[in-house]
Amino acid sequence: RMLSGYKPKSDVRDSYKILELEEGCSLDDVRNSYRNLARKYHPDSSSGMADSKAFIRVEEAYRVVLNDLAAKQKSDPGEEEEDQFKSKSLQHRHYLSFEGVGIGTPSQREKQYMQFRVDRATEQVLEYRQQRLESLYAGSDLSRAKDVTKSKKVKITQAVERLVEDLIQESMAKGDFDNLSGKGKPLQKFSDSPHIDPMTHNLNRILIDNGYQPEWILLQKEIRETIERLRKSIVASRRKLGEPMTLSEQKQWDRICEEFAEDIRKLNKRVDNFNLVVPIMSRQMVHFSTDKEILRARKTYEAVMEKVSDSDTKEIEGEEGKRFGWKSSLFKWLKL
């Protein structure tokens, strides 16, 4: 329909009626009428009469009328072309893009138009194949003979494949494949994927052998090392201040918490960059919370202090036992 330039006279009259024009009107009248109708029926317009089907009819009528006017100007050599260097169609992307296909936002219309083009190309390919098959197999004796020959070749190939498969299974049953060299080892010669071309496979192999790592893996490693370093640093800072904290030490701890919050904010930006490049959705990371990390540091500090106090208590008890152990042994000897 789009490639053909022939249009019946009835279609031309209907096109003029759709554009609300009469035959013999000027090119400016056609453009003004199309512009008004496009604003009226286009799906993206704010008009209450928006209709995609009506807009498609208006656009098709506009193309037919333009072709009719161009044909009349060519048939009348005495008439001068007014818009010789101007475009034959209205250059307004809002109404002429995507062949009038689709509704919604421009991005949504673009996706719908791409799907429309794929469907149209598929239909054309299928029609071409059907015509080719009909021309090849038009019912002649020669085509029938070719079909018989091809079917015989297919049958012979399938029979040979079945015979080879039977021989392989028989050899496996006898145990001929049990003592092969390299059993249980990967086949290095045929390790490439059939879905990747040899050049890409060789490049990937070179990168892997030389220790190459993707960007998202390096970012993930860097994020984990950074959060561990920040956690250790804030716990160490809390241990330096001691317990209980004085007023100056409390102010110092507040400054440390502010610096820690700024470091967490920068780390969350790295997390955003990581989520943009990671190829697996399940590997994406969530933001770190400053309050949760500070609470975690306090719990870690309390646990460390409990361990230290327990160890100090055990040492004191051991020293007292060593100090007074000789007296108890002397009293026991005197009693005996």
Please say whether the beta carbons of 29 and 81 come within 8 A. no
Question: Is 199 part of any domain?
Answer: no
Pair 17, 108 in one domain: no
Average pLDDT of the chain? 78
Q: Identify the CATH number of the domain in which residue 28 sits.
A: 1.10.287.110
For 180-192, the pLDDT digits (tens) are 777 777 656 545 5
**Termini Cα distance of the chain:** 124
Class of residue 95 by CB neighbours under 10 A (exposed 0-12, middle 13-18, buried 19+): buried
Question: Is 89 part of any domain?
Answer: no
Sign of CA dihedral 285, 287, 291, 293: positive
Pair 121, 60 in one domain: no
How many CA atoms does the CB half-sphere of 223 hold within 13 Å?
23
Pair 34, 124 in one domain: no
Q: Which domain covers residue 17, as residue numbers?
A: 12-73
pTM: 0.36
Neighbours of 14 (CB within 10 A): 15
For 161-218, the pLDDT digits (tens) are 888 888 888 888 888 777 777 777 765 654 556 677 777 777 777 877 777 888 888 8
Question: Is 140 part of any domain?
Answer: no
Question: Is 121 part of any domain?
Answer: yes
Pair 221, 316 in one domain: yes
- The answer to which of 50-54, 213-217, 316-320, 331-335 has the lowest mean pLDDT is 316-320
Pair 219, 313 in one domain: yes
Pair 223, 300 in one domain: yes
Pair 43, 128 in one domain: no
**Residue labelled with tokens 């759709």:** 18
Among 86, 115, 135, where does a domain finish?
Answer: 135
Pair 50, 125 in one domain: no
Long-range pairs for 3-6: beta carbons < 8 A, 24 or more residues apart: 5/67
pLDDT for position 88 = 47
Amino acid of residue 226: T
Question: Is 186 part of any domain?
Answer: no
What size, in residues, is the chain?
336
Among 119, 135, 151, where does a domain finish?
Answer: 135
- For the ranges 4-8, 93-97, 106-110, the maximum mean pLDDT occurs at 106-110
Question: What DSSP letter does each residue of 126-160 carry, written as one string?
Answer: HHHHHHHHHHH-SS-HHHHHHHHHHHHHHHHHHHH
| Helix/strand/coil for 335 | helix
For 5-29, the pLDDT digits (tens) are 445 556 788 888 888 888 878 888 8
Question: What DSSP letter does each residue of 274-329 carry, written as one string?
Answer: HHHH-S-GGG--PPPPHHHHHHHHHHHHHHHHHHHHHHHHHHHHHHHHHHHHHHHH
Question: Is 167 part of any domain?
Answer: no
Question: Domain total for the chain?
Answer: 3
Pair 68, 113 in one domain: no
Pair 65, 124 in one domain: no
Q: Check whether 228 has a pLDDT greater than 90.
A: yes
Helices (H), the chain: 9-18, 27-41, 52-75, 93-96, 106-136, 141-174, 198-209, 215-241, 247-277, 290-335
Among 57, 73, 89, where does a domain finish?
Answer: 73
For 257-309, the pLDDT digits (tens) are 999 999 999 999 999 999 998 888 888 999 999 999 999 988 988 888 888 77
Which is more confidently placed, 94 or 120?
Answer: 120
- For the ranges 42-56, 112-126, 317-331, the maximum mean pLDDT occurs at 112-126
pLDDT for position 3 = 44
Q: How far is CA 17 from the centre of its chain?
A: 47
Q: How far is CA 266 from the centre of its chain?
A: 26
- The answer to which of 56-65, 91-100, 152-161, 190-199 has the lowest mean pLDDT is 91-100
**Residue labelled with tokens 């092969």:** 180
**Rounded to the nearest 5 degrees, what angle is found at the Cα of 234, between the Cα atoms of 270 and 223?**
20
Pair 270, 223 in one domain: yes
How far is 281 from 54, CA to CA, in rounded Å?
Answer: 42
Class of residue 50 by CB neighbours under 10 A (exposed 0-12, middle 13-18, buried 19+): middle
Prior bond to 8 cis, omega within 30? no
Sign of CA dihedral 245, 246, 247, 249: negative
Pair 303, 224 in one domain: yes
Which is more confidently placed, 329 or 92?
Answer: 329
Question: Is 119 part of any domain?
Answer: yes
Question: Is 168 part of any domain?
Answer: no
